[in-house]
């Protein structure tokens, strides 16, 4: 698989059009267009309505990050309020649908805000409010939990039991990456896992979600520590199968998950939903003025981009991949706008070390070829959850949802 695309340069065609990696709404603003594509793709998993997404996009000035926030916030609040009204009227299913859409609209609304901008936490508070209203209406209801971490801190998380998983269920510890967090994981992997009888512990690890926003806990390269704490927490329960605990990470979480699996041998399987072999290599061609850079400095806890690049040198699988003892799956967009080289390096490094490693590139013909299948998250979810169900010995034909 050759390098085929890059998000670092504007497309020559400045009109909205379809690319192999999906709908390109504002080609002159590739980073913002990428985030629009992400919101659009997640509509098919309940994270929005196509018309609402395009309506919001029609109001946004793509060169104005404040415009992005304001317009997504309007759409989010409308969906949230409609959900509240529906619930008060006894229309629980409509309420669930609206709250789920609102959650993802809030995620878009807060995305480009500075970490220190008070609007960011305020928007995230509303996001979690809508998300948890939805989660509590699941069957069985999700548990809003805090995983004990270090020095009195905790990891914010949701524990979701499958309605078809039986008394002692296998579990997937799921995490996001640089900018995705526990609430977005419903659209990416959680729903598919629950359908296949697999419980989910969706976490905000260091540098993610509420763990970053409320406690100021930035990311770390040795992700075995937070993942190990999650396993400790799970093993104290009597409703999970400790022999069938897996971990997945999306985007930069693909590194987080794999690095944890190299050292945490209680894991039965590992999934990189978007692979990263050496994080420092990701930033080699990134313009320090790109909008994503201010998010990087916040998540890494660094004063500037140069410090981010220096810290990133610790974030590598080179030299540790051979310690992984569980089966390893990489699902990666074949036309990933961040490139495909990292996935190939991660798979080849694992294979050389004798790891049971599988690399699945998703092609433009089947759609889902974008980074983490943002243009078609359903296919990524299916590939990951079917693989995991097979590894856990689950007969899906015997399940019903």
- The pTM (predicted TM-score) of the whole model is 0.96
* Tens-place pLDDT, residues 289-329: 888 899 999 999 999 999 999 999 999 999 999 999 999 99
How many whole angstroms separate alpha carbon 393 and alpha carbon 401? Answer: 18
Q: Do 202 and 160 form a contact (C-beta atoms < 8 A)?
A: yes
| pLDDT over threshold 70, residue 84 | yes
> The CATH number of 14-137 is which of 3.40.1350.10, 3.40.50.300, 1.10.150.20, 1.20.1440.110?
1.20.1440.110
Instruction: Please report, for the chain, the start and end positions of each structural domain, with discontinuous segments joined by +.
Output: 14-137, 139-278+315-401
Q: What are phi and psi of 52, to 5 degrees?
A: -65, -40
How many whole angstroms separate alpha carbon 378 and alpha carbon 87? Answer: 28
Please report the sign of the dihedral spanned by the C-alpha atoms of residue 366, residue 371, residue 375, residue 377: positive
Q: What is the pLDDT of residue 2?
A: 45
Q: What is the pLDDT of residue 12?
A: 76
Q: What is the DSSP letter of 217?
A: -
How many whole angstroms separate alpha carbon 239 and alpha carbon 223? Answer: 25
Catalytic residue among 251, 272, 312, 397: 251
How many whole angstroms separate alpha carbon 161 and alpha carbon 140? Answer: 7
pLDDT grade for 129, boundaries at 50, 70 and 90: very high
- For tokens 């990951």, what's the residue? 384
Question: Nearest CA to 26 among 5, 47, 11?
Answer: 11
How many whole angstroms separate alpha carbon 164 and alpha carbon 13? Answer: 48
- In 251-299, DSSP assigns E strands to 269-273
Residues 205-224 have a mean pLDDT of 98
Rama region for 100: left / alpha / beta (φ>0; ψ in -120 to 50; rest): alpha
pLDDT > 90: percent of the chain? 91
Average pLDDT, the chain: 95
63's tokens? 């060169």
Q: Quick one: how many helices (H) and strands (E) in the chain?
A: 15, 10
Question: Nearest CA to 279 among 253, 240, 246, 247?
Answer: 253
How many whole angstroms separate alpha carbon 279 and alpha carbon 277? Answer: 6
Q: What is the pLDDT of residue 147?
A: 98
Q: What is the pLDDT of residue 400?
A: 65
Q: What is the pLDDT of residue 3?
A: 46
Question: Nearest CA to 215 among 104, 121, 114?
Answer: 121
pLDDT grade for 258, boundaries at 50, 70 and 90: very high
Q: What is the pLDDT of residue 95?
A: 98
Q: What is the pLDDT of residue 337?
A: 83
* Tens-place pLDDT, residues 89-118: 999 999 999 999 999 999 999 999 999 999
Q: What is the pLDDT of residue 154?
A: 98
Q: Do 363 and 328 form a contact (C-beta atoms < 8 A)?
A: no
Return all residues near 53 (Cβ < 8 A) that are at least 6 apart: 36, 39, 40, 43
Q: Which of 29-33, 57-61, 203-207, 384-388 has the lowest mean pLDDT?
A: 29-33
pLDDT grade for 123, boundaries at 50, 70 and 90: very high
* Tens-place pLDDT, residues 5-29: 566 555 678 899 999 999 999 999 9
Catalytic-residue membership of 131 = no
Enclosing H/E stretch for 263: helix 253-263
Q: What is the pLDDT of residue 88?
A: 98
pLDDT > 70: percent of the chain? 97
Q: What is the pLDDT of residue 6?
A: 60
Neighbours of 100 (CB within 10 A): 27
pLDDT grade for 210, boundaries at 50, 70 and 90: very high
Q: Which of 16-30, 201-215, 262-276, 312-326 has the lowest mean pLDDT?
A: 16-30
Q: Are strands 240-250 and 269-273 parallel, antiparallel or unpaired?
A: parallel
| pLDDT over threshold 50, residue 1 | no
The yes or no reply on domain 139-278+315-401 and CATH 1.10.10.10 is: no
Cis before 7 (ω within 30): no
How many whole angstroms separate alpha carbon 399 and alpha carbon 401? Answer: 7
pLDDT grade for 79, boundaries at 50, 70 and 90: very high
* Tens-place pLDDT, residues 227-247: 999 999 999 999 999 999 999
């Amino acid at each position: 698989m050759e390098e085929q695309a890059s998000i670092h340069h504007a497309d020559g065609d400045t009109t909205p059009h379809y690319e192999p990696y999906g709908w390109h709404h504002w080609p002159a603003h590739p980073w913002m267009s990428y985030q629009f594509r992400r919101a659009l793709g997640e509509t098919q998993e309940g994270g929005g309505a196509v018309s609402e997404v395009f309506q919001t996009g029609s109001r946004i000035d793509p060169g104005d990050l404040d415009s992005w926030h304001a317009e997504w916030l309007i759409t989010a609040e409308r969906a949230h309020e409609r959900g509240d009204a529906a619930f008060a009227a006894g229309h629980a299913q409509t309420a669930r649908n609206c709250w789920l859409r609102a959650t993802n609209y809030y995620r878009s609304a807060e995305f480009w805000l500075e970490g220190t901008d008070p609007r960011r936490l305020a928007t995230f508070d509303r996001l979690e409010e809508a998300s948890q209203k939805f989660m509590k209406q699941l069957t069985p209801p999700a548990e809003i939990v805090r995983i004990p971490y270090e020095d009195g801190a905790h990891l914010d998380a949701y524990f979701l039991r499958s309605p078809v998983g039986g008394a002692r269920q296998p579990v997937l510890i799921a995490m996001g990456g640089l900018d995705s967090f526990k609430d977005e994981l419903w659209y990416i992997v959680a729903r598919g896992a629950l359908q296949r009888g697999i419980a989910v512990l969706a976490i905000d690890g260091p540098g993610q979600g509420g763990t970053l926003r409320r406690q100021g806990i930035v990311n770390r390269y040795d992700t075995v520590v937070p993942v190990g704490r999650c396993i400790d927490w799970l093993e104290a329960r009597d409703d999970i199968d400790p022999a069938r605990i897996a971990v997945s990470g999306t985007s930069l979480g693909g590194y987080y998950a794999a690095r944890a699996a190299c050292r945490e041998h209680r894991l039965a399987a590992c999934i990189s939903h978007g692979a990263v072999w050496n994080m420092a290599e990701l930033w080699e061609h990134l313009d320090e003025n790109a909008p994503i850079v201010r998010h990087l400095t916040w998540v890494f806890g660094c004063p500037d981009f140069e410090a981010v690049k220096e810290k990133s040198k610790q974030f590598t699988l080179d030299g540790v991949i051979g310690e992984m003892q569980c089966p390893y799956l990489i699902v990666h967009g074949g036309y990933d706008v961040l490139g495909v080289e990292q996935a190939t390096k991660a798979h080849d490094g694992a294979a050389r070390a004798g790891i049971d490693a599988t690399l699945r590139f998703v092609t433009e013909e089947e759609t889902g070829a974008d980074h983490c299948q943002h243009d078609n998250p359903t296919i990524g979810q299916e590939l990951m959850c079917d693989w995991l169900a097979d590894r856990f010995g689950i007969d899906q034909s015997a399940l019903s949802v």
